Homo-oligomer: A and B are copies of this chain.
């Protein structure tokens, strides 16, 4: 069975060279030279030990907002992570406010799609930009973020990626984001 669990470790080892770590809202993450991405649960001692600046954990899960017809379109358009040409990566951890989490399902869906067009914006950048969403909020009650999104894309789509994150940050949904860090990486040569 393929593991749903992923850990992202910022430190001195890993397949990805860190180019920048930038706080968008709230507290940043400590500097790191490399980013290591590991699939599967592993003992805490298994991380790069003293050399790690931080470690974020997340689990892939069922979709929370998209409807059946949107899912058909998404599945048809999206590409998988790890394409040889996708040498640029971005890890964007976000946390949403308590106010977001007390909204009802229909209120969150309305903000997410009907008013912020989160999915519709993301769809415009397919298949160039691949992504995987990891949930953290229900892993424990001490997680520093609610979601980790990992993206990869070819260098020629770097401008499109900036456009994507800029458009999402302008939405009503993003008013509920109270912590966001933007970690950019390139694949180690």
**Given A71-B104, A104-B71, A105-B109, are A141 and B4 also a contact pair (CB < 8 Å)?**
yes
Kindly list chain B residues whose C-beta atoms are within 8 Å of the C-beta of A101. 62
Of all chain B residues, the one with the shortest Cβ separation from A107 is B68
Contact residues, A21-69 vs B (CB, 8 A): 41, 59, 61-68
**Given A62-B101, A101-B62, A107-B68, are A139 and B141 also a contact pair (CB < 8 Å)?**
no
How many residues on the A side are at the interface (Cβ–Cβ under 8 A)?
31
- Indicate if the CB atoms of B137 and A139 lie closer than 8 Å: no
A166: min CB distance to chain B, Å: 27
User: Bound complex: CA of A137 vs CA of B103, how far in Å?
Assistant: 21
User: At the interface, yes or no: A170 with Cβ under 8 Å from chain B?
Assistant: no
**Given A62-B101, A101-B62, are A106 and B68 also a contact pair (CB < 8 Å)?**
yes
User: Bound complex: CA of A172 vs CA of B176, how far in Å?
Assistant: 35
Contact residues, A66-109 vs B (CB, 8 A): 66-68, 70-71, 101-109
- Indicate if the CB atoms of B138 and A59 lie closer than 8 Å: yes
Kindly list chain B residues whose C-beta atoms are within 8 Å of the C-beta of A139. 138-140
Kindly list chain B residues whose C-beta atoms are within 8 Å of the C-beta of A65. 105
Kindly list chain B residues whose C-beta atoms are within 8 Å of the C-beta of A109. 105
Given A67-B105, A138-B138, 20 additional A-B pairs, CB 8 A: A3-B141, A4-B141, A5-B140, A41-B140, A41-B141, A41-B142, A59-B138, A61-B138, A62-B103, A63-B105, A64-B64, A65-B105, A66-B104, A66-B105, A67-B107, A70-B104, A105-B109, A138-B139, A139-B139, A139-B140
